[in-house]
Amino acid sequence: MLIEVKNLTFSYTGVPILKNVSFALHEKERVGLIGGNGEGKSTLLKLLVGELVPEEGSVVRRSSLTLGYLEQGADFSSEETAYAVLERVFEEDKRLLASLAETQSAMTGAGEQEMRVLAARAESLAKRIAARDSYRFDVKIKTVLNGMGFEGMYEQVVSTMSGGEKTRLKLCRLLLEAPELLILDEPTNHLDLKTLFWLEDYLTAYKGAVLVVSHDRYFLDKLTSRTLETERGRVTSYKGNYTKYRVLKEEKFKEETRAYEKQQEEIRKLQTYVDKNIVRATTASGALSRVNKLERMELLEKPLPPPPPPRFRFTYDERPYETVVKTSPFTLSAEGKILLARETFTLARGKRCAIVGDNGTGKSTLLRFLLSGAPEVSLGRFVRAAYYDQENADLPKEERVLDVFWGRFPRLTQTEARATLARAGLNAEDVQKKVGELSGGLRAKLGLAMLEGRRGNFLVLDEPTNHLDLPARESLEEALKSFDGTLLFVSHDRRFIETLADTVCALENGKLVWFEGKYGDYLAARREPPVQREKKTDSHRGKEERAREAQRRNRVSEIEKRLALLEEEAAALDAELFEKAKDFLEARRITARQEEVRAEIDALYEEYGELI
Task: Establish if 6 belongs to a structural domain.
Answer: no
The series of mean pLDDT values per 10 residues for the chain, 612 residues long, is 95 88 95 90 93 94 94 80 94 91 83 83 87 88 92 91 87 95 90 87 93 93 95 94 93 93 92 83 78 90 88 94 94 89 94 91 93 94 94 86 92 92 92 89 93 95 91 94 96 91 93 91 67 44 69 82 81 74 71 82 74 65
Segment (H or E) for 10: strand 3-12
- pLDDT for res 130: 85
For the purposes of burial, counting CB atoms within 10 Å of the CB of 428, is it exposed (0-12), middle (13-18) or buried (19 or more)? exposed
Please report whether residue 403 resides in a domain: yes
Taking the C-alpha atoms of residue 190 and residue 166, their distance in angstroms, rounded to an integer, is: 10
Contact 144, 86 (CB under 8 A): yes
pLDDT of residue 526: 66
DSSP 515-565: EES-HHHHHHHHTS-HHHHHHHHGGGS-HHHHHHHHHHHHHHHHHHHHHHH
DSSP structural state of residue 380: P
CA gap 184, 68 in Å, rounded = 8
Predicted pLDDT at 581: 60
Whether residue 247 is contained in a domain is answered as no
Judged by DSSP in three states, 81 sits in strand
Closest CA to 166 of 182, 192, 148: 148
Query: In terms of Cα–Cα distance, which of 276, 98, 72 is closest to 189?
Result: 72
Sheet of 346-348: strand order equals 346-348, 323-327, 377-379
Res 543: pLDDT: 67
Q: What pLDDT is attached to residue 61?
A: 95
pLDDT at 584: 63
**Residue 369: domain span:** 323-527
* Predicted pLDDT of residue 369: 95
Amino acid residing at 81: T
The reply to whether 83 falls in a domain is no
Q: Is residue 452 part of a domain?
A: yes
Alpha helix stretches (DSSP H) within 363-430: 363-370, 401-408, 414-423
pLDDT of residue 281: 63
- Residue 535 within a domain: no
Closest C-alpha to 53, from 97, 9, 116 = 9
Q: What is the DSSP letter of 373?
A: T
Q: Contact at 8 Å (CB) between 465 and 473?
A: yes
Rounded Cα–Cα distance for residues 372 and 364 (Å): 12
The Cα 362–Cα 253 span in angstroms is 45
C-alpha–C-alpha distance, residues 432 and 297, integer Å? 46
Domain count for the chain = 1
CATH number at residue 401: 3.40.50.300
